[in-house]
Amino acid sequence: MPTYHRGEIAVQERAGLARQAEFSLGGIGESIPSVARDFLAQQPWIVLGGADRDGLVWATQLTGGAGFLGVPDPRTVTVGALPLPGDPLAEVLTAGPAVPTGMIAIEPATRRRMRINGRARREGTGLRVDIDQVIANCPKYLQKRNHRWAGPDEAGAADRTVTAGTGLSPAQQRKVRAADTFFVATASDRGDADASHRGGNPGFVQVLSPTLLRWPDYVGNAMFLTLGNLLLNASAGILVPDWETGDTLHLSGTARTVWDAEDIATAPGAQRLVEFSVQAVREITAASPLRWTSPGYSRFNPPVG
């Protein structure tokens, strides 16, 4: 039976939303319903989160054609792709035993999404994920986009480069400031992984320095799965996709929730703030063959101060 762990409960109580969280618990299951199976079968990509061999938490993505995501039974999801060399989670997801993995499937064109947490292990040329949690999410703060596959004259695998660092370059800082969407991976103190979405109008993520980011935590479903994990385990990873080029920016570090009322008041719509300290950076060009249209911004996005 689904339950919250002690970190999630502590954040729910501090936010004064324990009753709403109890109601939202009905959105957490342990198997894939048939309607969700059909949804997954239509998706060309999925975001994954987990820890590498050094314990750093990262978020990444995988893509594929029709049937790329499968549900052979209600407690199992298959992913028809593996991370390529240079991907921060390639080593743990292509060799060795099953590892805790959080996933989120999003269809920007319809603003539908779902989260799946479990244990992933390599199976042939893809992954098999044994499910622990299936989480229904609301469509707030998700920008509408349509996708296409890159043409032969666009950047492909041959153009793929990987660069690493310990802080954001000026160009990477500009990418983060311009982002309307990113994905955040966290893990509990037991190592159970989760991947979630954050969205807002461009500028909702502040770059305070090359190694410090801040973003608002807006009104949500009161589950606090991400903030609950961070209370017990500060390690986190961020994926910032470039929707136009297929490039990806991966960050790993630590994060904390800011509850100070004066700080929160500086960000319109914020209920809390999250500060992320960057420890490692991985930027991959031509990481995805998907190209996306310009966004239709969510009507729920608060203005940016």
Q: For 42-101, how does the pLDDT look when each residue is reduced to its tens digit (9 = 90+)?
A: 999 999 999 999 999 999 999 999 889 999 999 999 999 999 999 999 999 999 899 999
The secondary element (H helix, E strand) that includes residue 91 is helix 90-94
* pLDDT tens-place string over residues 86-139: 999 999 999 989 999 999 999 999 999 999 999 999 999 999 999 999 998 778
> What pTM does this model have?
0.96
Q: What is the mean pLDDT of the chain?
A: 96
Q: What is the mean pLDDT of residues 237-246?
A: 97
- Residue 157, pLDDT score: 64
Count Cβ atoms below 10 Å from residue 23 Cβ, excluding itself.
11
Count Cβ atoms below 10 Å from residue 230 Cβ, excluding itself.
24
Q: What is the mean pLDDT of residues 273-283?
A: 98
Is the pLDDT assigned to residue 154 strictly greater than 80? Answer: no
- Residue 276, pLDDT score: 98
* Unique residue bearing structure tokens 């980011």: 213
- Residue 185, pLDDT score: 98
User: How far is 100 from 118, CA to CA, in rounded Å?
Assistant: 6
User: How far is 192 from 257, CA to CA, in rounded Å?
Assistant: 19
- Residue 158, pLDDT score: 67
Q: Tell me which amino acid residue 102 is.
A: G
- Residue 71, pLDDT score: 97
Q: What is the mean pLDDT of residues 137-152?
A: 92
Q: Give the confidence band of 151 by pLDDT, cuts at 50, 70, 90.
A: confident
> What is the percent of the chain with per-residue pLDDT over 70, rounded to a whole number?
99
Q: Give the confidence band of 155 by pLDDT, cuts at 50, 70, 90.
A: low
Residue in 255, 151, 166 with CA at minimum distance from that of residue 205: 255
